[in-house]
């Protein structure tokens, strides 16, 4: 089984699209048209812009989505629309803004819509960053529970849970300085060159703007297994995935659970689209003890033969089988999570059953299972600090 992944912000490098424009005769014209939709000059950004210019959130986000969609067209199975071009891929996913490219590759959105939304998302998140000084830091190493507790103690948020001993915290400059001054045991804190606290409540104005635009979009249901950053689940309803794309602006990226789902699905081959390398590295580190899939990170057209060979050996007709049908229970408030006593993974749940509560300063807030099913996995554990909207448990529906 083959998966196609699209990276998120931070993966870009100066000039990374230049070899693609030289190799693809129609690439410049395509990028000129997409530039109109995105409101930025994608050709200049991908070829001659320097590192400072391409780390501007308003420019980086549409650039990354455009790069993924442009280069995906070079893989076998050329046709229209975009979703049919990668006809041997069974699973698609993206990290943060990479989810927009994944949505297009799964047929949920036309490529033009994904590009336009990436432009809007980038502009609105940049505007939200300007409202007050915020930022992000990478927290490397340490036990996950200790890291989460340290992040809460500093008054900041767990914005990205990337697995492989890597978490990203986001919040006020003062809070991040506090975290760096007193890092969790066994961890080190490294500042990230980003404009603000992405995937936290500080991005609420951007979420509202994106929701307003999304209201005018009619998505299609995905044509292949499409993973969500919210909880790593496969989403088979286009409208639900569009809703998740909007709320993901303020919700943590759970790339750790996305990687877990790749393993559960039995994925044997992975292709990372340009600017590739980041997600491939996380997979190799996270899954080295569990049998990592064979990976090709496409960086230049020189990597296409290896990608095509991987497709020939691991590809197959897209299918939603076996697709894990998950629902997620989330925290309604900030606090610490307490699972219900005696409830374990694998237990049957009934609709409305209380599976735990979030302890807050105002008292406990119940967490319930909205549908009947099986408790597949706890996503938070005893005394873990949680933020509003954070996934707490995955519940599998009855097949």
Dihedral angle computed from the Cα positions of residues 27, 29, 30 and 35, in that order, rounded to the nearest 10 degrees:
120
Choosing from 96, 228, 323, 329, the catalytic residue is: 96
Helical H segments across the chain, by residue range:
18-23, 27-38, 42-47, 51-54, 57-72, 98-105, 111-129, 144-153, 173-181, 204-214, 238-247, 255-265, 278-286, 304-314
Whole-angstrom Cα distance, residue 47 to residue 61?
A: 16
Helix (H) or strand (E) holding 360: strand 354-360
Q: Which residues contact 298 (CB under 8 A, 6 or more apart)?
A: 71, 271, 272, 273, 274, 276, 304, 307
Per annotation, catalytic residue among 157, 199, 314, 357: 199
199 part of the active site: yes
For 382, which DSSP code?
T
State the number of CA atoms in the 13 A half-sphere of 256 facing the CB.
18
Its sign, for the CA torsion 32, 34, 37, 38, is negative
Alpha carbons 271 and 132: distance in angstroms, whole number: 38
The answer to whether 96 is a known catalytic residue is yes
- What gap in Å lies between CA 237 and CA 242, rounded to an integer? 9
The neighbouring-strand residues paired with 269 are 2, 294
Tokens of 8: 């998120």
Cβ pair 19, 109 in contact under 8 A: no
* Cα→Cα distances 86→76, 148, 385, Å: 6, 38, 40
**What is the set of active-site residues?**
96, 199
């Amino acid at each position: 089984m083959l998966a196609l992944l699209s990276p998120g912000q931070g993966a870009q490098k100066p000039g990374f699209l230049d070899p693609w424009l030289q190799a693809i005769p129609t690439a410049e014209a395509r990028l000129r048209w997409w530039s109109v939709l995105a409101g930025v000059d994608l050709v200049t950004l991908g070829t001659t812009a320097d590192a400072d210019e391409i780390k501007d959130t308003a420019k980086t986000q549409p650039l990354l989505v455009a790069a993924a969609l442009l280069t995906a067209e070079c893989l076998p199975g050329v046709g229209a629309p975009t979703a049919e071009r990668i006809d041997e891929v069974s699973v698609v996913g993206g990290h943060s803004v990479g989810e927009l490219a994944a949505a297009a590759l799964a047929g949920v959105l036309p490529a033009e819509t994904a590009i336009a939304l990436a432009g809007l998302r980038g502009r609105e998140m940049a505007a939200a960053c300007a409202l007050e000084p915020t930022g992000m830091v990478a927290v490397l190493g340490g036990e996950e529970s200790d890291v989460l507790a340290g992040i809460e103690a500093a008054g900041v948020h767990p914005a990205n849970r990337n697995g492989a001993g890597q978490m990203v915290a986001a919040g006020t400059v003062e809070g991040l300085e506090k975290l760096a001054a007193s890092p969790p045991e066994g961890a080190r804190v490294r500042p990230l060159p980003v404009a603000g606290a992405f995937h936290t409540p500080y991005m609420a104005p951007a979420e509202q703007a994106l929701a307003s635009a999304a209201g005018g979009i009619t998505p299609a249901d995905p044509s292949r297994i499409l993973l969500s950053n919210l909880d790593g689940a496969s989403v088979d309803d286009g409208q639900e995935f569009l809703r998740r794309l909007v709320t993901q602006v303020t919700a943590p990226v759970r790339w750790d659970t996305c990687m877990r789902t790749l393993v559960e699905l039995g994925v044997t081959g992975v292709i990372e689209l340009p600017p590739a390398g980041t997600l491939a590295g996380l997979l190799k580190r996270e899954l080295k003890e569990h049998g990592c899939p064979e990976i090709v990170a496409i960086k230049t057209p020189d990597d296409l033969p290896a990608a095509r060979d991987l497709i020939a050996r691991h590809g197959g007709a897209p299918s939603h089988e076996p697709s894990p049908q998950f629902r997620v229970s989330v925290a309604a408030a900030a606090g610490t999570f307490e699972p219900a006593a005696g409830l374990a993974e694998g237990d049957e749940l009934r609709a409305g059953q209380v599976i735990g509560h979030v302890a807050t300063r105002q008292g406990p807030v119940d967490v319930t299972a909205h549908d009947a099913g099986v408790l597949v996995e706890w996503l938070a554990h005893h005394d873990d600090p949680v933020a509003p909207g954070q996934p707490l448990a995955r519940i599998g529906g009855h097949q």
